[in-house]
Homo-oligomer: A and B are copies of this chain.
Amino acid sequence: MKLGILLTTSPEHQNSTTALCVGRAALELGHEVELFLMDDGVYNVLDSRDNLVAGAFAALQAQGAAITLCGSTCDPRGVTKESAVAGVVFGSQYDHAQILHRTDRFLVFG
Protein backbone atom coordinates (compact mmCIF):
# COMPACT_ATOMS: atom_id res chain seq x y z
CA MET A 1 0.00 0.00 0.00
CA LYS A 2 1.00 3.65 -0.32
CA LEU A 3 1.27 6.02 2.64
CA GLY A 4 1.34 9.79 2.17
CA ILE A 5 2.62 12.13 4.87
CA LEU A 6 2.22 15.91 5.00
CA LEU A 7 4.48 17.77 7.45
CA THR A 8 3.99 21.51 7.96
CA THR A 9 5.68 22.16 11.31
CA SER A 10 9.31 22.88 12.19
CA PRO A 11 11.57 20.45 14.09
CA GLU A 12 10.38 22.15 17.32
CA HIS A 13 7.32 19.94 17.16
CA GLN A 14 7.18 16.26 18.04
CA ASN A 15 5.46 15.87 14.65
CA SER A 16 8.93 15.37 13.13
CA THR A 17 9.69 12.39 15.35
CA THR A 18 6.23 10.90 14.99
CA ALA A 19 6.29 11.22 11.19
CA LEU A 20 9.74 9.62 11.11
CA CYS A 21 8.63 6.70 13.33
CA VAL A 22 5.48 6.07 11.30
CA GLY A 23 7.35 6.39 8.01
CA ARG A 24 10.05 3.97 9.14
CA ALA A 25 7.51 1.41 10.39
CA ALA A 26 5.56 1.63 7.12
CA LEU A 27 8.71 1.00 5.07
CA GLU A 28 9.64 -1.94 7.29
CA LEU A 29 6.20 -3.42 6.68
CA GLY A 30 6.75 -3.16 2.93
CA HIS A 31 4.64 -0.10 2.15
CA GLU A 32 5.64 2.82 -0.05
CA VAL A 33 6.08 6.15 1.72
CA GLU A 34 5.91 9.63 0.20
CA LEU A 35 6.37 12.81 2.22
CA PHE A 36 5.45 16.35 1.29
CA LEU A 37 6.96 19.17 3.38
CA MET A 38 5.68 22.73 3.23
CA ASP A 39 5.65 25.89 5.37
CA ASP A 40 7.89 25.52 8.44
CA GLY A 41 7.98 21.80 7.63
CA VAL A 42 10.76 22.49 5.12
CA TYR A 43 13.11 23.44 8.00
CA ASN A 44 13.20 19.73 8.84
CA VAL A 45 15.59 19.11 5.97
CA LEU A 46 17.77 22.20 6.42
CA ASP A 47 21.08 20.42 6.71
CA SER A 48 23.59 21.20 9.44
CA ARG A 49 25.92 19.23 11.64
CA ASP A 50 23.64 19.70 14.64
CA ASN A 51 20.25 19.20 13.00
CA LEU A 52 19.66 15.61 14.05
CA VAL A 53 16.17 15.73 12.56
CA ALA A 54 17.55 16.50 9.10
CA GLY A 55 19.87 13.51 9.45
CA ALA A 56 16.92 11.29 10.37
CA PHE A 57 14.97 12.43 7.30
CA ALA A 58 18.01 11.73 5.13
CA ALA A 59 18.13 8.21 6.62
CA LEU A 60 14.40 7.71 5.96
CA GLN A 61 15.06 8.70 2.35
CA ALA A 62 17.93 6.22 2.14
CA GLN A 63 15.51 3.57 3.44
CA GLY A 64 13.24 4.24 0.45
CA ALA A 65 10.94 7.15 1.28
CA ALA A 66 10.46 9.94 -1.28
CA ILE A 67 10.61 13.50 0.09
CA THR A 68 9.25 16.46 -1.84
CA LEU A 69 9.29 20.08 -0.67
CA CYS A 70 7.05 22.95 -1.65
CA GLY A 71 9.66 25.08 -3.41
CA SER A 72 7.78 28.32 -2.98
CA THR A 73 7.78 27.94 0.80
CA CYS A 74 11.52 27.20 0.75
CA ASP A 75 12.51 30.45 -0.96
CA PRO A 76 11.45 32.94 1.75
CA ARG A 77 12.81 30.61 4.45
CA GLY A 78 16.28 30.46 2.97
CA VAL A 79 16.08 26.70 2.36
CA THR A 80 17.95 26.06 -0.89
CA LYS A 81 19.23 23.09 -2.87
CA GLU A 82 22.62 23.79 -1.32
CA SER A 83 21.40 24.01 2.28
CA ALA A 84 18.90 21.13 2.16
CA VAL A 85 19.52 17.42 2.64
CA ALA A 86 20.70 15.88 -0.68
CA GLY A 87 18.10 14.02 -2.70
CA VAL A 88 14.96 15.87 -1.60
CA VAL A 89 12.90 17.17 -4.52
CA PHE A 90 12.06 20.87 -4.78
CA GLY A 91 8.53 20.53 -6.10
CA SER A 92 5.23 22.38 -5.98
CA GLN A 93 1.62 22.09 -4.87
CA TYR A 94 1.07 20.01 -8.02
CA ASP A 95 3.20 17.30 -6.38
CA HIS A 96 1.27 17.68 -3.15
CA ALA A 97 -2.00 17.11 -5.04
CA GLN A 98 -0.60 14.04 -6.83
CA ILE A 99 0.74 12.51 -3.61
CA LEU A 100 -2.62 13.04 -1.90
CA HIS A 101 -4.32 11.43 -4.88
CA ARG A 102 -2.12 8.39 -5.43
CA THR A 103 -1.59 7.32 -1.81
CA ASP A 104 -4.03 5.02 -0.01
CA ARG A 105 -3.84 6.86 3.30
CA PHE A 106 -2.71 10.42 3.94
CA LEU A 107 -1.46 11.44 7.38
CA VAL A 108 -1.29 15.11 8.25
CA PHE A 109 1.22 16.51 10.73
CA GLY A 110 0.33 20.16 11.22
- Which of A58-66, A75-83, A93-101 sits within the interface? A75-83
Quick one: closest B residue to A52, CB to CB?
A: B76
Chain A window 6-23, contacts with chain B (Cβ cutoff 8 Å), 1 for yes, 0 for no:
000011100000000000
A40 interfacial by beta-carbon distance below 8 Å:
yes
- A34: interface (CB < 8 Å): no
Task: Select from chain B the residue with minimum beta-carbon distance to A72.
Answer: B50
- A67 on the B face (CB < 8 A): no
A76 CB → nearest B CB, Å: 5
**Size of the chain A interface, CB-CB below 8 angstroms:** 21
Copy total for this chain? 2
B residues within 8 A CB of A50?
A: 75-76, 78
A residues in contact (CB < 8 Å) with B: 10-12, 39-40, 43, 46-54, 75-78, 80, 83
CB <8 Å contact, A48 and B80 = yes
Shortest distance in angstroms between A108's beta carbon and chain B's nearest beta carbon?
17
Q: Which of B10, B48, B49, B76 contacts A51 (CB 8 A)?
A: B76
